[in-house]
Structure 1
Amino acid sequence: MASILLVWLINALSVYATSSLLAGISIKSFGSALLVAIVLGLINAIIKPILVFFSIPFIIVTLGLFLLVINALMLQLAAAVVDGFVVESFGWAVLGSLVISLVSWMLSALLNI
């Protein structure tokens, strides 16, 4: 249970840090970042596998780069659901998904999760 809460906190910190680093992504408060982390987790658990399944030919042809598009779409969907979280364009969503992944990876490696 503690590891789930730690992963949730790491994801929220990643979202909050990304909004500080990128001008095209803004978040109202850390509480909103916690909510975005929950929504992104649910979206990635429910909707993303369906999109990945139906886009396997595109993923193969682009050697996996199409997954960036899917991740950006998931981030924009989270922005549409959560008040106080704004992603200005698809380009910012692609860059934001990359930064969120990198920050989350670094924090997880730092904490040995």
Structure 2
Amino acid sequence: MGPRLRLLLQIALNAVALMLLPELIDGLRVESWTAALLTALLLGLINALVRPILILITLPITVLTLGLFTLVINAFLFWGVAALVSGVHVADFWTAFWSALLYSLLTWLVGLALGDPRDRRVRIVVGRRD
């Protein structure tokens, strides 16, 4: 699978994960697949570009809280992206917190299922003779 196709598939599966969240979390509403796709795309971009800068800026408090402040950063980013996309509504901070936590878990599982193309570990094939 090519990298572009893998990226599109990952975004689509992340949108599916986002559509599942309102079934599990009260206070979160995703009104359409378009809103879910746009939110998944924006969350991916924000997590790749903005999140590392925020983690660097908040490094002292992140160290003091043994990394737990990262969950707060994730919640605010999730809440912020939801505010930008019409069709996604987050009731309050705690809804954003639990949604971001569950979304992170689900997208981690999606990434695990798709495999990491950068993972180039040597695989040993048993019983093969060349």
Structure-2-length-normalised TM-score: 0.80
- Identity among equivalent positions (%) equals 38
**Structure 2 counterpart of 1:57:** 60
Question: In the TM superposition, what are the counterparts of 1:1-113 in structure 2 within 5 Å?
Answer: 1-113=4-116
Q: Whole-Å Cα distance in 2 between the matches of residues 110 and 54 of structure 1?
A: 32
- 99-108 or 87-96: bigger deviation: 99-108
1:37-91: CA deviation from partner (whole Å, max 9, x where unpaired): 1111121122212211110001101010000000001001101100010111110
Q: Whole-Å Cα distance in 2 between the matches of residues 27 and 98 of structure 1?
A: 17
Contiguous gaps of at least 5 residues in structure 2? 117-130
Asked if 1 retains the 8 angstrom alpha-carbon contact of 2:21 and 2:103, the reply is: yes
Residue 25 of structure 1: how far off its partner (Å): 0.8
Asked if 2 retains the 8 angstrom alpha-carbon contact of 1:20 and 1:26, the reply is: no
Q: Which structure has the larger Rg?
A: 2
Q: Whole-Å Cα distance in 2 between the matches of residues 17 and 112 of structure 1?
A: 22
Q: Whole-Å Cα distance in 2 between the matches of residues 3 and 10 of structure 1?
A: 10
Using CA pairs below 8 Å that are at least 6 residues apart, which structure has the higher relative contact order? 1
Q: Whole-Å Cα distance in 1 between the matches of residues 104 and 17 of structure 2?
A: 8
Structure-1-length-normalised TM-score: 0.91
Structure 1 residue ranges, 4+ long, deviating more than 4 angstroms after superposition:
none
Q: Whole-Å Cα distance in 2 between the matches of residues 31 and 63 of structure 1?
A: 37
Q: Whole-Å Cα distance in 2 between the matches of residues 109 and 47 of structure 1?
A: 23
Q: Whole-Å Cα distance in 1 between the matches of residues 16 and 83 of structure 2?
A: 20
Amino acid at match of 2:107: S
Asked if 2 retains the 8 angstrom alpha-carbon contact of 1:72 and 1:93, the reply is: yes
- 88-97 or 43-52: bigger deviation: 43-52
What's the RMSD between the two structures over aligned residues?
A: 1.3
Amino acid at match of 1:104: T
Residue 14 of structure 1: how far off its partner (Å): 1.4
